[in-house]
Structure 1
Amino acid sequence: MTTTATHTTTTGTAAEPRPAAAQAVDLVRVHGRGPAAVRALDGVTVAFEEGRFTAIMGPSGSGKSTLMHLVSGLDTPTAGRAMIGDVDLATLSDKALTRLRRDQVGFVFQQFNLVPTLTARENIELPQRLAGRRPDDAWGRELVDVVGLGDRLGHRPSEMSGGQQQRVAIARALAGRPRIVFGDEPTGNLDSHTGAEVLDFLRRAVRELDQTVVMVTHDPTAASYADRVLFLADGRIAGELADPTPEAVLDRMAGLGR
C-alpha cells in the first residue's frame, strides 16, 4: 500500500493527503565492518509526497546524500526498505531496477553531465531515445516553455552558460515524466544569480507541472525554495520545517550544531 502524508497550509488547515512518490522505512546503511564500521543512516523513516518539493539538509556526514542514493535506487540499504511508489526496490532484479530508475526517476547533479557534441534539444531527448521511446512533443514544448530555453535548443553545451546547461539537465530529467526527480547539490557549481534561476525553474516544475522534487543542499537560500526542509544529523532525522525561509533554515542548522 502506498503511504500518504498530510501537510498543512499556511493558514493552518490540513490539506488533502498525497500519495508518496518515494519513501524510506527504517532505512539503515552501514559502511565497513567491525570496529571500523560507520552507520551512515540509522533507522530513517520518511515519505516524499507527490507534487511537493523537499530539501534535505544537515551537517557534513549527516547522511543526506546517503538517504537520497538509497531512496533513488543508486545504492542498497543494509536494512529497511527504500520504495518508489509502492515498489520495494530490494524486490527488483538488477534489470528491473534499471528499468524503474529509467522510467520513474530523474537525476540532476552538480556536474551537468551533458553530451558536448549534442545540442540542447538532443541532450533533453537522449534518455528517451536510448530507451527506444519516441519523445513526447507536446510535453517537450511545455518543458521548453517552462525552462525558458526555446531560443537555445540548437546550441551545444559549450555555447551555453552554466545556468542554461543546468536547466537543460533538469529538462532532460523531466522529459520522461518521472515520478520523482532527485537533485544532489544542483546549484553547487553556479553563482548565486544563476542558481536562483535554476531553483526558480525547479519551483515552477513542482507548481506548474506537478513534479515531485527531492534536493540535497547545504545552502539555506536554496532550501527556502522548497515546500519543506528535512534535517538530518548523525544518520537520523533531526526535524523538519514547512514553508522555510533562509533565516529559519539557518536557525535550525545552528541548532543541529549545538
Structure 2
Amino acid sequence: MTTSTLDLTGTAARAVHLSKVYGTGDTRVVALDDVSVDFATGQYTAIMGPSGSGKSTLMHCVAGLDDATGGSILIGDTDLTSLNDKALTRLRRDKIGFIFQSFNLLPTLTALENITLPMDIAGRKPDKEWLDTVIDTVGLRDRLGHKPTQLSGGQQQRVACARALASRPQIVFADEPTGNLDSRAGAEVLGFLRRSVREMGQTIVMVTHDPVAAAYADRVLFLADGRVVDEMAAPTAESVLERMKQFDGLGRRS
C-alpha cells in the first residue's frame, strides 16, 4: 500500500510515560506500563495487539475516556491530566471525535440530525461547507432524511463516522469501527476513514484486531503486556498478520 505525503509537522496527541493499573495486591493488573507514543497530525494510526495487551486501554486514556494512573496525555498542547471534569468534557466535545463498534445513533433522529447532534448539544452551528464535504465524502447525500432503522449497518456506521468528523475535531478515535459489519460494509467504512485522512487532513487513531483493517492505516503500533513493542509503516494485511503471529495466546511476545 502506498503511503500518501503527510504533513507530520504537528502532533495531534501524545502519551508520555503513561501507566494504567487496575486493582491492588493479588488483583493488581498493569494494563499500561510506561507507554510513550506520538500521534502525528494528518496520520492514520492503527493500534493492534492480542487480547489483554492494553490497546483499548491506551486509546481510552489518550481520548480522555479513562483516567491514567501515571504519566501525562496531551491533545495538542493541552495536558488532559491537569483538567477538571468540566474542562475535560468540553475538550472531548470540541477537539475529539469518537467512532465505536456499536453505532450509537439515536433511532428517533434522521441521519443528518444524528450527524449534527454533538454540535446541536453544544449550541454551535455547523460549518456548512465542511459539513457538505463530510457528507459527500461519506456518500450519504441521498440518505440524510432516513432514520437508522432505514439504513444498512454500513450506512449507519458511515453516519457515525460523519458525526465524528462534522465538528472538525483535532483527532478521531475509532474503537473496532468495523466489528459489527460484513466485509463489504467494513471496506466502505475503512475506505472513507482513509480518504478523510488523505483528502481532508483528519487525524485518526483506530483500535482493531483485523489485519485487513490495519492495512488501511499509515502505520501500525503493536502492543503486548501493556507496552508498545513494535511499529510498522505502510502496512499490508500480510505483513501485519505475520507480525501478529509472533504473539502467543496469552498476549506475550513469543
TM-score bracket, normalised by the shorter chain, equals: over 0.9
8 Å Cα contact 2:21-2:29 kept in structure 1? yes
Residue 201 of structure 1 aligns to a residue whose secondary structure is helix
Moved beyond 6 Å, runs of 4+ = none
Q: How many residues align?
A: 248
Question: In the alignment, which residue of structure 2 is the partner of 1:185?
Answer: 176
Question: In the alignment, which residue of structure 1 is the partner of 2:161?
Answer: 170
Question: Residue deviations 1:59-115, cap 9 Å, x none?
Answer: 000000000000000011111011101111011111110000000000000000001
Residue 90 of structure 2 aligns to a residue whose secondary structure is helix
Picking from 26, 29, 32, the partner of 1:41 is 32
**Separation in structure 2 between the aligned mates of residue 217 and residue 132 of structure 1, nearest angstrom:** 33
* Letter in structure 2 aligned against 1:38: V
Picking from 218, 224, 234, the partner of 2:225 is 234
**Separation in structure 1 between the aligned mates of residue 156 and residue 6 of structure 2, nearest angstrom:** 36
Question: Residue deviations 1:180-211, cap 9 Å, x none?
Answer: 00000000000011100000000000011100
Question: In the alignment, which residue of structure 2 is the partner of 1:6?
Answer: none
| Unpaired segments ≥5 residues, structure 1 | 1-8
Q: Deviation of residue 35 (structure 1)?
A: 2.0
Picking from 22, 27, 35, the partner of 1:31 is 22
Q: Deviation of residue 239 (structure 1)?
A: 0.3
Q: Deviation of residue 256 (structure 1)?
A: 2.6
**Separation in structure 1 between the aligned mates of residue 3 and residue 143 of structure 2, nearest angstrom:** 38
Question: In the alignment, which residue of structure 2 is the partner of 1:196?
Answer: 187
Question: In the alignment, which residue of structure 1 is the partner of 2:95?
Answer: 104
TM-score, L = length of structure 2: 0.95
Question: In the alignment, which residue of structure 2 is the partner of 1:3?
Answer: none
Change (3 A) 1:238 1:220: same
8 Å Cα contact 2:8-2:41 kept in structure 1? no
Picking from 89, 97, 104, the partner of 1:113 is 104
Residue 117 of structure 1 aligns to a residue whose secondary structure is coil
Question: Residue deviations 1:7-44, cap 9 Å, x none?
Answer: xx969xx9764211011100000000112100000000
Question: In the alignment, which residue of structure 2 is the partner of 1:244?
Answer: 235
Q: Deviation of residue 221 (structure 1)?
A: 0.1
Question: Residue deviations 1:138-179, cap 9 Å, x none?
Answer: 111111110000000000000000000000000000011000
8 Å Cα contact 2:8-2:43 kept in structure 1? no
- Answer yes or no: is 1:223 the counterpart of 2:214: yes
**Separation in structure 2 between the aligned mates of residue 71 and residue 216 of structure 1, nearest angstrom:** 12
**Separation in structure 1 between the aligned mates of residue 33 and residue 52 of structure 2, nearest angstrom:** 12
**RMSD over equivalenced CA pairs, Å:** 1.5
Picking from 122, 128, 131, the partner of 2:119 is 128
Picking from 114, 117, 129, the partner of 1:138 is 129
Residue 29 of structure 1 aligns to a residue whose secondary structure is strand
| Unpaired segments ≥5 residues, structure 2 | 249-253
Residue 21 of structure 1 aligns to a residue whose secondary structure is strand
**Separation in structure 1 between the aligned mates of residue 31 and residue 25 of structure 2, nearest angstrom:** 14
Change (3 A) 1:98 1:194: same
Picking from 1, 5, 9, the partner of 1:18 is 9
**Separation in structure 2 between the aligned mates of residue 36 and residue 143 of structure 1, nearest angstrom:** 46
Question: In the alignment, which residue of structure 2 is the partner of 1:58?
Answer: 49
Question: Residue deviations 1:215-235, cap 9 Å, x none?
Answer: 000000000000000000000
Residue 142 of structure 2 aligns to a residue whose secondary structure is coil
Residue 22 of structure 1 aligns to a residue whose secondary structure is strand
Picking from 202, 205, 213, the partner of 1:214 is 205
Higher alpha-carbon deviation: 14-23 or 31-40? 14-23
* Letter in structure 2 aligned against 1:231: F
**Separation in structure 2 between the aligned mates of residue 203 and residue 15 of structure 1, nearest angstrom:** 12
Residue 56 of structure 1 aligns to a residue whose secondary structure is strand
